[in-house]
Structure 1
Amino acid sequence: MAMGLSGGGGRRRGRGRAGAPMSEINVTPLVDVMLVLLIIFMVTAPLLKAAVPVELPDSRAKAMSEEAEQVTITIQTDGTVFLEKDALAPGELADRLSGIPDTPDGKKPLVTLRADKALDYGKVMEVMGELNRAGFNSISLVTGVSGGSGA
């Protein structure tokens, strides 16, 4: 026995009858939910990158765009230096910086420097000197967002 798929004969199903089940899936709510999830992940992804907790100083400077090839260096209040998530021993920073490969265009990657606001200025300058000696001349200083209007 063969089934007729042309829909020409017999009882009609679909929109022709009142109360008949709709045979189409409405994808609009699915797309809306997916776009909201995409926005949430886009906003939270940069916040998840920095795993070393530090108290950043506030600034009213405009946020910079994030580059794919960048190195994050963090200095905690006690002076501990982290390269990405790895704690470094004193004097180890220069060796680890020399092992970082250049970008495809032959330049050194961008360095984002995160330093605790209670840290001594001399320690920050010491790390920046090591970065400069290793050839990293593009350094971004990361700050927190200032909430006040300021004077």
Structure 2
Amino acid sequence: MTMSVGNGNGGGDEAEYRPISEINITPMVDVMLVLLIIFMVTAPLLVAGVPVELPSTAAARISQPKKPVIVSLGSDGSIYVREDQVNSDNLVPTLTALRAAEGETVVYVRADKNRAYGEVMDLLGRVGQSGYPRVSLLSQPKANGGASGQSQ
């Protein structure tokens, strides 16, 4: 029992052989679907971790994070706490009142780049004087295009 595979004109061994130049993507789709199912089944198991029965408590829920305290020194020397302009004499009492109302948090200090170093240090000293133990300085990141400092 034999089967002849040819182009139908009965040329035998001398028949023109043409390879199939089409890509069969069915096996690839099958493999991808199996992988998708495997990942869909295992992903929730990886996140869940170890099953634990947590005890119940009467403690209050942790509130949402508070609005950050940002102290800004403008180019004209004006001082702002968040969006409110503050007199330099009232800065320490304002920050002390915020600390009493909201608790201890980080104070972010921003200053215009044209202000003198001494003015920024004075502002940092007054923020520290108001009782905040953690103070961070904010800056604007440089763009990658002209940061090398070389001229062409």
Relative to the length of structure 2, the TM-score reads 0.49
TM-score (norm 1): 0.49
Which structure is higher in strand share?
A: 1
